[in-house]
Amino acid sequence: MDDKLSRRNTIIILLIGLAGNLAWAIENQFYNVFMYEEIAPKPIYISIMVGASAITAAITAIIMGAISDIKAKRRIYMLYGFALWAITTAIYPVAAWIQIPLIAVTVAIIFDCIMTYFGSTAFDAAFNAYITDITTVKNRGKGMGVLQLTMLFSTLIVYGMAGIIVESIGFYNFFYIMGAVVGALGVLGAYLSEDPADLKPSGLSLQNQIKNTYKMDVIRKNKDIFLILIGMLIWATAFNVFFPFILIFLEYYWGLDFMTAAIVVFIGFIINLILAYPIGSVIDKIGRKRITILCVICNAISLIFFIISANLILLIIGGVLTQFFMTGWNIAANAWMRDLFPKKARGQFSGYYVLFAATLPMIIGSAIGGILSETFGNPIVIDGIPGFVPNWVIFVVAAFIMLPAVIPLFYAKEKPPKLGQEQIDEEIIDAKY
């Protein structure tokens, strides 16, 4: 494989990455805001929805990732997954038509889980494996930099345009428009992709494909991957303590209007959008481990800026620094982990990545954030329904949870042994099958 990231692959990563990250950005923030403002202002409902969606994502990613390995196909799952993902993104706000809050909350959570099934199939399982298939150790940092750029740009679009769209034409039209955009970009990117020529069917049943991952010799040979995954679990748990509530915190705790709250996050994404690809290039040159550990420590410290005061400049500095170190973390840790993925189980290991870096952290972290908000938060009443406003406690707790992530990362090896990655892959395959 050419060590240079080709133009075609760059375009595919841009299109699919933008589509997927647009959909996740909408879910991660505006599903939450919509539920809080249009259905019931109870942070714990958000925690339940985030947890249910995360469980759906993990189960889907592991099973569909394993199936994509068994069938040696990525393209078909991306193509149909994105088409259905777009439709289910658009119908989410229909839940608010139900007048009984508890039933409306239940329906919203079900809609979120259905959307997540298609999204996790297309993006978490198929595309995450595909981007590993088409990159190498020498260019994976650049590839992850491009993917991180799409995450930043998609969030930039959502935060930058959401306030204008929502205030001018309402939440419903916002979801309709963004669903259509997600579908168009994702389907086009999947159409341009091709299943890698060297990707061969594993010949295993789904049960054996998944079961063999847990053999002790396979775990032992892949211990560095699991150490990185444990670090991701800790970091992402801390991240989910505060991030699902950040717009609500800025708007209802510090008293910013919706547009100003979005701008605090928007400016940080603008700056890091410019820096994402250069960061990836630097990581390819100097390595993953040092940058990953440094970003964990600095990310935890940066959260302090959100709790100092309502001063807009300090909040913007907090947004810029938090997102800068988040960007460095995401690129370095993801490139490091993918360097070590066994070749014939990349889809399946992409599913374990979702489990460690998304599902468990979203369940645990958002639950901690929701409980802290309801225990220490300020009481509020919106449209006659009582609730609570998340406060500064979620950032302090998140910082303390985040720091221990450096421990497993310290013990993980950065590069594969001298015998070479391809030979390691074959040994792992032999051990598994």
Q: Please tell me the least confidently modeled range out of 31-45, 148-162, 285-299.
A: 148-162
Query: Of 287, 416, 411, whose CA–CA distance to 342 is shortest?
Result: 416
What's the pTM value of the predicted model, to 2 decimals? 0.72
Rg (the chain; Cα; Å): 21
- The DSSP element (H or E) to which 317 belongs, if any, is helix 312-339
Q: Once rounded to an integer, what is the mean pLDDT over residues 2-9? A: 77
Partnered with residue 382 across adjacent β-strands are 385
DSSP 8-state code for residue 214: G
* Phi, psi of 386, deg, nearest 5: -75, 150
Residues 6+ apart with CB under 8 A from 317: 305
CB 291 within 8 A of CB 332: yes
Residue 158, pLDDT above cutoff 90 = no
Higher pLDDT, 210 or 72: 72
- Looking at residue 2, its pLDDT comes to 53
Name the band, by pLDDT with cuts 50, 70 and 90, for residue 421. Answer: very low
pLDDT at 425: 45
Q: What is the pLDDT of residues 287-297, one digit of tens each?
A: 889 899 999 99
Handedness of CA 226, 232, 238, 240 (dihedral sign): negative
- Picking from 318, 315, 317, 198, the residue whose alpha carbon sits closest to that of residue 256 is 315
pLDDT higher at 163 or 18: 18
- Name residue 83's amino acid: A
Q: What is the pLDDT of residue 28?
A: 73
pLDDT digits 0-9 by tens, 202-258: 777 777 777 766 667 767 778 899 999 999 999 999 999 998 788 888 888 888 887
Query: What angle, rounded to 10 degrees, do the helices at 7-25 and 101-119 form?
Result: 170
Mean pLDDT confidence for 98-119: 91
The pLDDT-based confidence of 163 (bands split at 50, 70, 90) is: low
pLDDT: is 156 or 87 the higher one? 87
pLDDT band at 419 (very low <50, low <70, confident <90, very high): very low
- The predicted structure's pLDDT at residue 415: 66
Domains annotated for the chain, with CATH where assigned, are 7-432 (1.20.1250.20)
430 vs 327, higher pLDDT = 327
Asked if pLDDT for residue 389 goes beyond 90, the answer is: no
Please state, for a pLDDT cut of 90, what percent of the chain lies above it: 28
Mean pLDDT of the chain: 84
| HSE (side-chain half, CA atoms, 13 Å) at 104 | 19
Q: Report the SS3 class of residue 199.
A: coil
Question: Average pLDDT of 258-269?
Answer: 79
What mean pLDDT do residues 327-339 have? Answer: 88
Looking at residue 381, the DSSP 8-state letter turns out to be: E
* Gap between the Cα atoms of 371 and 52, Å rounded: 16
Helices then strands, each counted (H, E), the chain: 20, 2
Q: Whole-angstrom Cα distance, residue 353 to residue 331?
A: 14
Is residue 428 over pLDDT 50?
A: no
Residues of the chain above pLDDT 70, percent: 92
Q: What is the 3-state secondary structure (H, E, C) of 323-359?
A: HHHHHHHHHHHHHHHHHCCCHHHHHHHHHHHHHHHHH
Token pair for 335: 């490139």
Structure tokens at 248: 């609500």
pLDDT for res 3: 62
Beta-carbon count within 10 A of 349 CB: 25
CB 134 within 8 A of CB 104: no
